[in-house]
């Protein structure tokens, strides 16, 4: 089976390509490399010892992407391509709506044109906004607080409307919680440009002494130790979730949380990182970051019962693998 993976050179996409190739799928990657590097494609080949077809293309360039559908028999699409920084989306909303929403429309149109009716979409726990934890797939999405989150809400809606109009369209919408970790080879992982916004990449930069101190955004939340609680999930568990979703695709739109169901506070994550890697992380408590919520973790009962998937890797593996990737990629 040939799977077209948009954004396959990125953090989650590259790990998913590895898992797909190891499961016997053929992979075609379409990525414009706006937030990734070409050598990731070679690393995917090294890890799997399998070949990958790569197109450097912007998914919004419909004519160029049309050629990919023309050149190959595509059996399904996993659509990762998009921008993902919440803060940046507040400053550049049009860039986010343009890139994330238009790319989703473009790729669905090509699926319709070429009769490709299996589709997996990267959504985010951010769509739950201020709902009460644990987040369940059937919650109403009332309070997304930033343009990035809104692009995911809109894309989900577009997929639902498309599947209502075309009864053969089978869609899995996957809402990821907080992906961290890296492949155990240390070859692929997350390497954000500039100063990281997310906690784990910030911790690894402090561990490397590229940054002096971790700023903990608030210790007055209503959580066990006052710091924010999140559902960190190993990126390889997430990748396996995509294969499970693809293999169990059914007609209509089906939404699944990809998280562990367990919350970890900022201080607990720092403590685990220090213990596993034997490195001290200097930290200071600062003000809350605007827009942050107390707690975010998944109800995973639906994904377990319908896809038979659950996350296997623990916080220690996440800390070990994140650090291995960082030290391998000086
Ligand atoms: P990433 O930036 O590492 O990967 C995205 C990839 O898409 C990059 O390789 C980038 O070059 C490519 N891309 C972006 N716009 C494109 C376009 N118009 N045409 C072609 N390629 C394009 O991000 P990631 O962490 O791997 O995230 C993948 C998906 O998962 C995104 O849709 C993101 O919104 C979603 N997601 C990520 C997280 C997270 O915390 N990492 C959480 C929830 C959801
Ligand atoms: C985690 C916790 C911070 C950095 C974001 C997006 C979400 C999804 C995943 C895409 C919070 C605290 C962080 C720091 C800190 N992405 N923190 N110091 O905000 O849960 O989720 O990434 O879909 O949509 O919003 O992740 O890693 O930024 O923060 O104290 O330097 O760490 O306050 O409690 P977040 P994060």
Query: Residue 10 Cα, ligand 1 centroid: separation in angstroms?
Result: 6
Residue nearest to atom 14 of ligand 1 (CA): 82
pLDDT digits (tens, 9 = 90+) for 151-177: 999 999 999 999 999 999 999 999 999
**What's the confidence (pLDDT) of residue 291?**
87
Q: What share of the chain is helix, strand, coil (3-state, %, to 5)?
A: 40, 20, 40
> What domains lie within the chain, and their CATH numbers?
2-181+232-259 (3.40.50.720)
Residue 289 has pLDDT above 90, yes or no: yes
Structure tokens at 321: 């693998």
3-state secondary structure of 103: helix
Ligand 1 pocket, mutate which of 10, 127, 177, 201 (most atoms under 8 A from CB) = 10
Question: How far apart (Å, rounded) are the C-alpha atoms in residues 319 and 198?
Answer: 14
3-state secondary structure of 169: coil
- The ligand minimizing its distance to the Cα of 199 is 2
Burial code (b: 16+ CB inside 10 Å, e: under 16) for 34-65 equals: ebbeeebbebbbebbebebebbebbbbebeeb
Query: Residue 199 Cα, ligand 2 centroid: separation in angstroms?
Result: 6
**What's the confidence (pLDDT) of residue 142?**
76
Beta strands in the chain (DSSP E): 2-6, 26-31, 53-56, 76-79, 118-124, 170-176, 178-180, 214-217, 229-230, 232-234, 252-258, 264-265, 283-286, 295-296
- For residue 60, the ligand 1 atom closest to its alpha carbon is 18
Contact predicate 117/127, CB 8 Å:
no
Structure tokens at 315: 């916080």
Average of per-residue pLDDT across 262-270 = 98
Question: How far apart (Å, rounded) are the C-alpha atoms in residues 98 and 76?
Answer: 24
**What's the confidence (pLDDT) of residue 192?**
83
Residue 128 makes CB contacts below 8 A (sequence gap 6+) with 135, 139, 141, 175, 296
Question: What percent of the chain clears pLDDT 70, i.e. is strictly above it?
Answer: 100
Average of per-residue pLDDT across 118-142 = 95
Average of per-residue pLDDT across 300-310 = 98
Residue 39 makes CB contacts below 8 A (sequence gap 6+) with none
3-state secondary structure of 208: coil
pLDDT digits (tens, 9 = 90+) for 26-56: 999 999 999 999 999 999 999 999 999 999 9
Ligand 2 pocket, mutate which of 127, 147, 198 (most atoms under 8 A from CB) = 198
Nearest Cα residue to 78 out of 99, 50, 107: 107
Ligand 1 pocket, mutate which of 14, 15, 68, 81 (most atoms under 8 A from CB) = 81
Query: Residue 79 Cα, ligand 1 centroid: separation in angstroms?
Result: 9
Query: Residue 91 Cα, ligand 1 centroid: separation in angstroms?
Result: 18
Ligand 2 pocket, mutate which of 290, 291, 292 (most atoms under 8 A from CB) = 292
Average of per-residue pLDDT across 77-97 = 96
Contact predicate 189/270, CB 8 Å:
no
Query: Residue 51 Cα, ligand 2 centroid: separation in angstroms?
Result: 35
Residue nearest to atom 1 of ligand 2 (CA): 199
**What's the confidence (pLDDT) of residue 193?**
83
Catalytic residues: 148
Residue of higher predicted confidence among 193 and 292: 292
Residue 143 has pLDDT above 80, yes or no: no
User: Helices 199-207 and 266-277 meet at what angle, rounded to 10?
Assistant: 40
- Pocket of ligand 2 contains residue 185 by CB under 6 Å: no
**What's the confidence (pLDDT) of residue 194?**
87
Question: How far apart (Å, rounded) are the C-alpha atoms in residues 219 and 221?
Answer: 6
Dmax of the chain from CA atoms?
56
Residue 64 has pLDDT above 90, yes or no: yes
**What's the confidence (pLDDT) of residue 85?**
94
- Band (307; pLDDT cuts 50, 70, 90): very high
Nearest Cα residue to 186 out of 34, 29, 320, 16: 320
- Pocket of ligand 2 contains residue 228 by CB under 6 Å: yes
Residue 330 has pLDDT above 80, yes or no: no
Residue 144 has pLDDT above 90, yes or no: no
Looking up tokens 């009769």 gives 115
Question: What percent of the chain clears pLDDT 90, i.e. is strictly above it?
Answer: 96
Query: Residue 34 Cα, ligand 1 centroid: separation in angstroms?
Result: 9
- The ligand minimizing its distance to the Cα of 58 is 1
Q: What's the mean per-residue pLDDT of the chain? A: 97
pLDDT digits (tens, 9 = 90+) for 293-304: 999 999 999 999
Ligand 1 residue neighbourhood (C-beta within 6 Å): 6-7, 9-13, 31-36, 58-60, 80-82, 84, 99, 103, 122, 124, 176, 179
- The ligand minimizing its distance to the Cα of 121 is 1
Query: Residue 139 Cα, ligand 2 centroid: separation in angstroms?
Result: 21
Residue 145 has pLDDT above 90, yes or no: no
Residue 329 has pLDDT above 90, yes or no: no
Residue 84 has pLDDT above 80, yes or no: yes
């Amino acid at each position: 089976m040939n799977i077209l993976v948009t954004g396959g050179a990125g953090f989650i996409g590259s790990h998913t390509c590895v898992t797909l190739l190891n499961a016997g799928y053929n992979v075609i990657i379409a990525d414009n490399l706006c937030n990734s590097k070409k050598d990731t494609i070679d690393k995917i080949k090294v890890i799997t010892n399998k070949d990958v077809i790569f197109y450097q293309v912007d998914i919004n360039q419909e004519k160029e992407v049309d050629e990919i559908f023309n050149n190959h028999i595509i059996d399904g699409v996993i659509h990762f391509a998009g921008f993902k920084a919440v803060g940046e989306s507040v400053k550049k909303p049009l860039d986010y709506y343009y890139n994330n929403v238009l790319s989703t429309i473009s790729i669905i149109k090509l699926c319709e044109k070429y009769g490709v009716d299996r589709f997996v979409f990267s959504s985010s726990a951010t769509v739950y906004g201020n709902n009460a934890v644990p987040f369940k797939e059937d919650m109403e999405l009332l309070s997304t607080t930033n343009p990035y989150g809104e692009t995911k809400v809109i894309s989900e809606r577009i997929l639902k409307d498309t599947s209502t109009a075309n009864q053969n369209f089978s869609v899995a919408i996957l809402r990821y919680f907080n992906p961290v970790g890296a492949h155990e080879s240390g070859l692929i992982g997350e390497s954000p440009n500039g100063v990281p916004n997310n906690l784990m990449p910030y911790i690894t930069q402090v561990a490397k002494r590229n940054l002096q101190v971790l700023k903990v955004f608030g210790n007055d939340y209503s959580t066990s130790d006052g710091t924010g609680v999140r559902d960190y999930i190993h990126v390889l568990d997430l990748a396996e979730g995509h294969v499970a979703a693809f293999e169990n695709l059914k007609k209509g739109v089906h939404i699944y949380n990809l998280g562990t169901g367990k919350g970890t506070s900022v201080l607990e994550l720092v403590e685990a990182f220090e213990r596993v890697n034997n490195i001290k992380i200097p930290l200071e408590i600062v003000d809350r970051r605007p827009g942050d919520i107390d707690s975010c973790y998944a109800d995973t009962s639906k994904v377990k019962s319908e896809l038979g998937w659950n996350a296997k890797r623990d916080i220690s593996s996440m800390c070990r693998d994140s650090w291995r990737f960082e030290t391998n990629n000086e």
